[in-house]
Structure 1
């Protein structure tokens, strides 16, 4: 594994030296390519390398003026490129002495970066029925995709191997279903170009997706990271995917990020809220922008845990992050599972639509609806009943779908023995009780690895799992 990582670093270094030698006066990261999408109505960073000390001229076809800069002693040049309203296609020419680099079919619109592990990475190549249907067309030319190959690195990299593509049956086959369906929904709703960058890697832990120092300088998180084991075909050390799959894009104008990961951190569930919060905040700091960060709560799955339900504990940690981190929001998957023995639920379009609705409400103000799933807010105990309130329910009511029984609803007294609970719904409040328990102290809902939820808000979104205790014991 380490040998493969070092080899790829060496290849990247040799490639950069080749491009900066006499074979060309100017080069750029490969994600500045034909068919790319740049963030519209803003000023975005635009950079590359050229002969040291030489002037570099950038001309974009949506601008009247040409921008001039100079390559520094490191050979790097960089400009702040003003963009126009969403549209295109446009052309960008970059000139240094006798060398001209031309980027064609450039669109201005919205750009989102999508990351995580296999549930973000799943595609038509994994025989997802929803994506296989997409391959028949027609294809939206306003949606552009960039699929970043899985390469790890011990040090931050300046470049990648991959370029932007238009959508067709070939380019979409290996591409993230969630990223594609998100882009399609946003593009169709706003009628603007949308570019999505998929930089995800199946089986990875969160530690590999943020700068290594964020983990290694935190003794608690550093100890938790050592629970991740060396395994074939994936990185496991802090920073290794960040360095090569995210860091090269730092500064590229993005609207926001989508994330689906957490399954591989069930081994270190008690550090996940802290780790994931650091991940989001570190991305914000690196981009110098508190962009929206929307993530999927991991789905019910039979981890075959005995005792502690670590999948549920990770979902609980994700609840905490969604409520505490600036500009972070969560969508649920707990009602979108067809097989609890498959860690890869096949309904990816529904997850993407829920993420798109968050963006369409919060970022673009394009639709009017409540895009949030209810999360535990507070509770009161009145005699033998516990009355529970939720975030994001001010104008909604609770509903039970698929019968009259709420799946996974339990209540316990001081003896910590959970019994199935009865309930009443009072608008947006849940009243829980059991005639056998006269002095209840805790309620749990869907607090297991495998419970499929059926308690909903009237906005059509499921209520997230919760517990009113901190007991390290299974519900039953």
Structure 2
């Protein structure tokens, strides 16, 4: 197995006869000895090791005395970073199902320091102190055990190991078709007014039913961070509350793991997630678009004020129209994991690199065009319809069912794109702009806007304007507004 390295302290726990004394011995490159006793109330014992640097192997023995003399020894234990992987079916999606699966499985033996563990699919209406069952016990990866393991989780861990060069532990706990409410504690649900049971729901949708059985038993564990791929189940269930329920779940997990590990899992541990990919081509339903936006707490990017120390992998440009597992399950999990790894490097490991695609920095509309200035240089492919503008006499009228019309890309240079407003009726003005606001916005890696430097895609966004000095313009990054025509003229001159 892999347990968390320094500077955090790993927590070990187990069960035994009530009142018995337990001694834990750590033998390897360094040695430790810790003593504790089994609780008379819970029948559980736990110890917190002193910090141990990455590496190994170690043997760890727990020995009890009074009234019995028993011992258990864990062998080939490594210290490194432990990541929890959770969500629904796209996180559950197996290594054996991805593109080039046989090649990936053949690589398993080359990564003996990336260890895997998989919780079994169990539901509970009450919080469990321990996992009821395990699908894959802690294992050195091999083709047989890796085949049913989460592809996103494995690839994320493997890519991280190639960068960090020390052990990575991967804990998979996910369930296909599950809603965010199922993974949330009652405390988290209450913050969003969801602390009630929907009688129509059963299985992996029901409130807290997977939190109880597949997250709560892990809270003693010291972890480095978590990654998440979920949201499809909420495109038609409490969709409009996801901008509350998802951030609330993250906050609650952080608090719960921090407290459960005796303060060793950081109170703000890094949390990465995959923004939803695609489902139905030419769909007019806004479910996927809305959830993508709500996954960022309606900011469009992370980290942000509401979701600190988070990172995101955009996946809307990775559709798979021929997936034998359904179009909602794209097989390209390599790019998803790679994009997650970029975010983890920045947020979890303080590496200096660009992990996000371009995002609007400034939007300047006039009567003929909308100018969108992004925060990095662009690689642009012309498109007639992926940008849309809302034509309205009032900003407040711009919603999902508003008069959205296509805004063709006319020109672009460096960080700026010029959109035409010619399809707006003359009696109305441009009140909002949105990008890639559809279930399936583009073909594989063929969206119109990418970073010229990193080839990362711009995420979807929807921006309502505010009026100022006759023109409507918005500075996205700081929420300040330009106020003079001189500012506008300088922007025009710079573009032209």
TM-score class, shorter: 0.7 to 0.9
The one-character-per-residue Cα deviations of 1:389-435 (angstroms, maximum 9, x if unpaired) are 44xx2xx20212xx432651123422735134234334323332233
Partner deviation per Cα, 1:248-281 (whole Å, 9 max, x = no partner):
1113111100000000001122111101011100
Answering whether residue 217 of structure 2 is matched by residue 248 of structure 1, we say yes
CA distance in 2, matches of 1:285, 1:236: 23
1:469 Cα deviation (Å)? 4.1
What corresponds to 1:54 in structure 2?
Answer: 20
1:270 pairs with 2:240: yes
Structure 1 residue 39 and structure 2 residue 9: aligned? Answer: no
Which has the larger displacement, 423-432 or 202-211?
423-432
User: Does residue 293 of the first structure (1) align with residue 266 of the second (2)?
Assistant: no
| Aligned residue among 82, 87, 91 for 1:116 | 87
Moved more, 136-145 or 240-249: 136-145
Give the TM-score of the pair, scaled to structure 2: 0.79
Work out which of the residue numbers 170, 187, 197 in structure 1 matches 2:144. 170
Question: RMSD of the alignment, in Å?
Answer: 2.4
Cα distance in 2 between the residues matched to 1:264 and 1:179: 20
Distance 1:342 1:227, change over 3 A: farther
Look up the SS of the partner of 2:217 in the other structure.
Answer: helix
Corresponding residue to 2:70 among 99, 104, 110? 99
For residues 214 and 158 of structure 1, the distance between their equivalents in structure 2, rounded to whole angstroms, comes to 19
Moved more, 458-467 or 369-378: 369-378
Q: Distance in 1 between matches of 2:416 and 2:408?
A: 15
- Could you tell me how far 1:48 is from its partner in structure 2? 1.7
Query: What is the SS of the residue equivalent to 2:295?
Result: helix
Match of 2:415 among 394, 411, 428: 428
1:6 corresponds to: none
Q: Which runs of 5+ in 2 are unaligned?
A: 259-266, 394-402, 466-496
TM-score by structure 1 length? 0.83
Match of 1:398 in 2: 378
* Counterpart residue number, 1:206: 180
Structure 1 CA distance, aligned partners of 2:160 and 2:221?
A: 20
Mapped contact 2:389–2:421 kept (Cα < 8 A): yes
Q: Which residue of 1 aligns with 2:451?
A: 457
Question: Which residue in the other structure is 2:484 paired with?
Answer: none
> Structure 1's 361 and 327: CA in aligned 2 closer, same or farther, altered over 3 A?
closer
Could you report, residue by residue, the CA deviation over 1:25-54 in whole angstroms, capped at 9, with x for unpaired residues?
Answer: xxxxxxxxxx34333442122222222222
1:377 positional shift: 5.0
Q: 1:310 to 1:64 in 2, by over 3 A?
A: closer
Aligned runs of 1:297-446 on 2, under 5 Å?
Answer: 297-302=275-280, 308-320=285-297, 322=302, 323=304, 324-339=306-321, 342-366=327-351, 368-390=352-374, 393=375, 396-400=376-380, 403-405=381-383, 408-414=386-392, 416-437=403-424, 439-446=429-436
The aligned length equals 422
Contact 1:117 1:203 in 2 (8 A): yes
Shift in Å, 1:110: 0.9
Distance verdict in 2 for CA 1:237–1:95, change over 3 Å? same
Secondary structure class of the residue paired with 1:440:
strand
1:275-286 map, 5 Å = 275-286=245-256
| CA 298–417 in structure 1, closer or farther in 2 if over 3 Å, else same | closer
Q: CA 1:196–1:64 in 2, change beyond 3 Å: closer, same or farther?
A: closer
Question: What's the offset of the Cα at 1:55?
Answer: 1.8
- The offset of 1:385, in angstroms, is 2.5
Q: Distance in 1 between matches of 2:163 and 2:115?
A: 16
Q: Is the 8 A contact 1:411 1:420 kept in 2?
A: yes
SS in 2 for 1:312: helix
1:388 deviates by 2.7
Question: Residues 436 and 103 from structure 1, CA distance in 2 versus in 1: closer, same or farther, beyond 3 angstroms?
Answer: closer
Is 1:229 the counterpart of 2:201? The answer is yes
